[in-house]
Structure 1
């Protein structure tokens, strides 16, 4: 049974880490974030914040969680402390995340999960991606045959797919959980009713998006009470979310897909601005799917991720395969990594989509001979002038048109290792910030259908990622577990839209090739090249490389790159966790001296 609230014993086991927090207070280490959402009297969280501020990983002995908000980390850590599994802790943490960072994920969104099972030594992946309504057609986002403007499609009910997060939470708990299902929701219910402090990031995002948030009455009432945007430092309560969580706790996922919560979703979607097509049968027919894990050998490791409809696992694996020769020598130049990512994105744009609807050549894209041919293109000394998809082997001949797609960065990631040796990596999303801006049951509904191509054909050739009824849109989410000799050594993932792929590949290389610890790896200044422009993170040493990269033939853009990497490394000395300094996330682990 999971206790509601943080026990005194739980706080005490972090005593060794509290030293760093005291150093911060004494001015001996960098100051912690001033974000009001993460200020806390809890010594465990203070120690973790201090380690992060100092650029140091959090260390743990038996279990660890790295997640995008301190309150979610606290909820998941409590479950782990009380003997719960990584699956149990994910349920509790995700329920809190849907409340405290609603712009990123929640019950109204979708997710992909990668699980390492210590008892069997196997990797399993679960697909909780949203599905298109049964009434959807390939012209869903067209007006008189022309694609709609992006935000015209996003805002309102038309963009809402059948959410998968509640089903995925239930499926993971049913397979791997040990804790009482209902009690896992206790922290989120309590915080919903008592209220939470709006963070600087959430307050700023509400202010920027006020006009769109005002388009749906329930959304406006919550985020814009009395017509004014909630601000950092405000106390925000959500009794409607507490009611939905109680239904989920009492009735399981059926409350969502066949009960009152689902009825609220359908009503909200069909009455929203630009009404959507969801029907009760679409929710009732939703299923979480087990998919074949995508695993790629890389310099003595095995990197395992999510297969289609996510492009993340395949694209990360391709990038690593393309640069493996350089990695074996101990260094991957930015030029090589940039063009390797471009090659992977060219293949992604043509071939990757929901494999239940279109043939996807996963084996061909990861075939060593194919990757060797593609890697040969990187042997020059300058940027590739032109990048195009390759010709991997299919089981039989197919032809698809290219589709770059537009995936925007509003997502979250959870990494967990439990005391039983299981590991979980889950990336969850509502797609755009605040999703469709439609609210039901106290949570926002996704706009994931805009991850489909708005076109059905290009020059008469069908697009693999076009809209079809029941289909799951292509995603860039890349939850990843890295194995060594069959056991996990790294659990990682990130939000960031289609840049997720570059963020995850970059951090894996920093840890495995450059020898950085996990906190250093998730803090590396970003250099990401997807479609030809080398994005360089503003305010970091990466931005200083613009002139050098331009001299090599790259087009560059210096900009903010807001990832949210959360990682756990497993080694002979225990666990180390890292949380992206660009967000308020945190890693919490059992103290090395804990019992």
Structure 2
């Protein structure tokens, strides 16, 4: 084998690995040995570098090197971008359970190159039929944050297994078992836990110890793991094998389903076998709009993100942002965010349960009216616009972006909600359950963990899907396109919005993921700006003079982006330099 190189981004620092033999390559990068003439790409935090690769390349950006490698392994077996997305997502269920997994859900935008079709897969979790507001209230009638965030009452019926089975059967090229095989192997053979997983286990240790299966999985022998340990997950491997052998029925029916329900009910939850058997992944029409000569394809409800992004872009569409000074550019971005989040809180919910005024919200004429309400030299106070209360955003979930050699694309965001979800592992299944019930408006007028409030449109009902901020998106221009997404709670929406603007402005994948971010979500009425931002002091002073409160906060998000420049047929991938686990890997290959 000829000499090959892989550049990997570890905590924003490029590191070269060189191999000269097939055996050493296999030892170093698993199934990447199957890929001939591997191209390379790496991004540092402050500056992006890219290499031009030959035609017919593939690119994957995910939050974990093992997951990216799993995706390339499946591509090497003849799979397409959908098969690779299943491999990436199922591997993340094993190696990054703090952010996503089989016990959670996902939303995905898929582009089929052969037909030109764009579609959306809704594998969002749903409420069990026995959901009751009283389970999330204390005796004094105030919200019970423990039951909405911890334990089985916090968990919605998972959508991830049904979603990957549906995607595989309709849009994949390989059997589901082939796409799940890397995750099964890693779960059985073991892996070294990332710093982020170790920290998450330490952070949630008290809750994990409430449940024997949770402490058994995450603290074997009674101790939290360290990064040097070999971490195995044989119970989840068995559940993945059942899914591989029997499709969705391997999870939602039979022995796995019985164990899920038995363990949930024994710990005080309300799931039934009927709840599991009734779950279906759904295919929906994505939201599409034009902005600055680009087509934006993004997530419809039960995501709130796509509607909000479309509304913000429509507000800004007639404005010449490039000609503005930085203070006024931020001013107009923030006012667009403010108005979109106000509508997010007011109108959006599960489309199967709620009639939403989407024609109005997505209309350029509605955006014209919102734009006219923006004062050019003064901040609009959120109190001037009718709505509700909120608090600080949170930062969990994961995203992966994939383009294969044929031009098929997947933008997929997956979650278990907050760190390690509900902290409840369902008995012998090895499946860590989500705490997505908190994304409902469980108690009217009270914010969820991410500071968002919904009205009756997002109230919990049995069989209903909770509103999500996940915003997987694809942006298509004449010569360039991008696959974009990120975790980050309510900040997902503004991250993707700002990434779209950056891509339209000509930035590459590394620059998009590394750029400093701002965020406004209607309430609290302030602009969040990342610490260390390069926004000049005089610009901040100008914003404060306009009436804005500025909040310096820690960095957020973990964006993964792939950009395809069709003029050179170059695909580049970038993983966020903020990546907390230090294993974010970006590669291109052909």
Q: Normalised by the size of structure 1, how large is the TM-score?
A: 0.86
8 Å CA contact retained: 1:160, 1:269: no
Distance 1:526 1:249, change over 3 A: same
Distance 1:413 1:327, change over 3 A: farther
2:71 aligned to 47, 64, 76, which one? 76
2:281 aligned to 281, 288, 292, which one? 288
2:261 aligned to 242, 263, 266, which one? 266
Distance 1:238 1:251, change over 3 A: same
Question: How far did 1:575 drift?
Answer: 0.9
8 Å CA contact retained: 2:61, 2:400: yes
8 Å CA contact retained: 2:302, 2:468: yes
Quick check: 1:344 aligned with 2:340?
A: yes
Q: Which runs of 5+ in 2 are unaligned?
A: 17-26, 447-453
Question: How far did 1:141 drift?
Answer: 1.9
Question: How far did 1:349 drift?
Answer: 0.3
1:564 aligned to 546, 549, 558, which one? 558
Query: Larger deviation: 580-589 or 537-546?
Result: 537-546
Supply the distance in 1 between the matched residues of 2:542 and 2:40 (Cα, whole angstroms). 37
8 Å CA contact retained: 2:401, 2:561: yes
Q: How do 1:249-264 residues align onto structure 2 when only pairs under 5 Å count? A: 249-264=244-259
User: Deviation digits for residues 136-184 of structure 1, max 9, x if unmatched?
Assistant: 1354422457242323421111111110001110111111111132122
Supply the distance in 2 between the matched residues of 1:301 and 1:145 (Cα, whole angstroms). 52
Q: Secondary structure at the match of 2:556?
A: coil
2:437 aligned to 424, 449, 452, which one? 449
Question: How far did 1:64 drift?
Answer: 1.1
Quick check: 1:587 aligned with 2:586?
A: yes
Query: Which residue of 2 is the match for residue 423 of structure 1?
Result: 409
Quick check: 1:434 aligned with 2:425?
A: no
Question: How far did 1:48 drift?
Answer: 5.7
Query: Which residue of 2 is the match for residue 396 of structure 1?
Result: none
Question: How far did 1:330 drift?
Answer: 5.7
Distance 1:176 1:372, change over 3 A: same
8 Å CA contact retained: 2:395, 2:489: yes
Question: How far did 1:287 drift?
Answer: 0.8
Q: Secondary structure at the match of 2:519?
A: strand
8 Å CA contact retained: 1:507, 1:521: yes
User: Deviation digits for residues 325-370 of structure 1, max 9, x if unmatched?
Assistant: 3356466711111121111100000001112111111111011111
Quick check: 1:522 aligned with 2:513?
A: yes
8 Å CA contact retained: 1:154, 1:435: yes
8 Å CA contact retained: 2:350, 2:467: yes
Q: How do 1:83-94 residues align onto structure 2 when only pairs under 5 Å count? A: 83-94=78-89
8 Å CA contact retained: 1:206, 1:223: yes
Quick check: 1:103 aligned with 2:102?
A: no
Question: How far did 1:58 drift?
Answer: 6.2
8 Å CA contact retained: 1:342, 1:387: no
Supply the distance in 2 between the matched residues of 1:495 and 1:152 (Cα, whole angstroms). 24
Query: Which residue of 2 is the match for residue 37 of structure 1?
Result: none
Supply the distance in 2 between the matched residues of 1:151 and 1:520 (Cα, whole angstroms). 39
For these two proteins, the number of residue pairs brought into alignment is: 551
Question: How far did 1:405 drift?
Answer: 8.8
Question: How far did 1:542 drift?
Answer: 4.5
Supply the distance in 2 between the matched residues of 1:589 and 1:330 (Cα, whole angstroms). 35
User: Deviation digits for residues 2-36 of structure 1, max 9, x if unmatched?
Assistant: xxxxxx78xx6x54x55x99xx9xxxx95559xxx
Query: Which residue of 1 is the match for residue 316 of structure 2?
Result: 323
8 Å CA contact retained: 1:403, 1:465: no
Supply the distance in 1 between the matched residues of 2:398 and 2:13 (Cα, whole angstroms). 26
Q: How do 1:15-414 residues align onto structure 2 when only pairs under 5 Å count? A: 15=5, 32=15, 41-42=28-29, 50-52=42-44, 55-57=48-50, 60=53, 61=55, 62-144=57-139, 146-272=141-267, 275-327=268-320, 329=322, 333-386=329-382, 408-414=394-400
Aligned structure 1 segments of 4 or more residues deviating by more than 6 angstroms: 43-47
User: Deviation digits for residues 437-465 of structure 1, max 9, x if unmatched?
Assistant: 1112122100101100122479xx96211
8 Å CA contact retained: 2:39, 2:588: no
Supply the distance in 2 between the matched residues of 1:483 and 1:389 (Cα, whole angstroms). 34
Question: How far did 1:239 drift?
Answer: 0.8
Question: How far did 1:426 drift?
Answer: 0.7
Distance 1:330 1:201, change over 3 A: farther
8 Å CA contact retained: 1:160, 1:448: yes
Supply the distance in 1 between the matched residues of 2:391 and 2:259 (Cα, whole angstroms). 30
Supply the distance in 1 between the matched residues of 2:266 and 2:541 (Cα, whole angstroms). 52
8 Å CA contact retained: 2:74, 2:84: yes
Supply the distance in 2 between the matched residues of 1:403 and 1:231 (Cα, whole angstroms). 40
Supply the distance in 1 between the matched residues of 2:392 and 2:167 (Cα, whole angstroms). 29
Q: Normalised by the size of structure 2, how large is the TM-score?
A: 0.87
Supply the distance in 2 between the matched residues of 1:48 and 1:225 (Cα, whole angstroms). 38
Supply the distance in 1 between the matched residues of 2:383 and 2:48 (Cα, whole angstroms). 37
8 Å CA contact retained: 2:295, 2:475: yes
Distance 1:58 1:218, change over 3 A: farther
